[in-house]
Amino acid sequence: LAIMELSAAHGLGDTSWMLADAMRGYYYQRRYLRDWAEATEIGLRMARQRGDNSAIAAMLASRALSACAIGDFRRSTELNTEALGHASEDDWTEGVAMITSNLGMTCFNLGQLEQARDAYAKALTTNRAIGNCRGEAVQLANLAGVHHAMGEAVEALRRYGDALAIYSAAGAFEGVA
């Protein structure tokens, strides 16, 4: 956090939001919510100052994930929706795929299974369009989870099988386990 604040104070705002974005996974896994909120606040402030829509989208998506992590799914939806607008405006396709997937996760947690399925399907299509095989596998596994929750076991197994094939071909053993 100190490096992010110093970077912001010395005109290196890009460094601030990039560090905040790089720390997202760590904060999510460790649930350091206060630090996460501070990091995204600094990053969002710098991204807005620069008018960088992709950076704004990344910071809003990070805040949305933080809200999801504490079970505030309504806030997560609001933040992801705002983030999606910024990512789309900047033609940041990878961001659109990630944020759409996160919207799917939020819908799933709210029990909105059809909306979750639709969001994951859209993220799957986007990941396929940009050649992101790992993103494709993640979305197939997400769709499998939705189909399972909807009682559609055959479709769930098909989607899990498709995801497993991609993970195996990519040597991504974390997806195979």
Per-residue pLDDT of the chain (177 residues; tens, 9 = 90+): 777 777 777 777 778 888 888 888 888 889 888 998 989 998 999 999 999 999 999 999 999 999 999 999 999 999 999 999 999 999 999 999 999 999 999 999 999 999 999 999 999 999 999 999 999 999 999 999 999 999 999 999 999 999 999 999 877 666 555
What's the predicted TM-score (pTM) here? 0.88
| Residue in this structure with the two tokens 């053993």, named with its chain if needed | 173
Instruction: Kindly state the tokens that stand for 44.
Output: 């969002």
| Residue in this structure with the two tokens 């494709």, named with its chain if needed | 136
Work out the number of other CB atoms within 10 angstroms of the CB of residue 6.
12
**Measured between alpha carbons, how far is 95 from 123 in angstroms, rounded to an integer?**
10
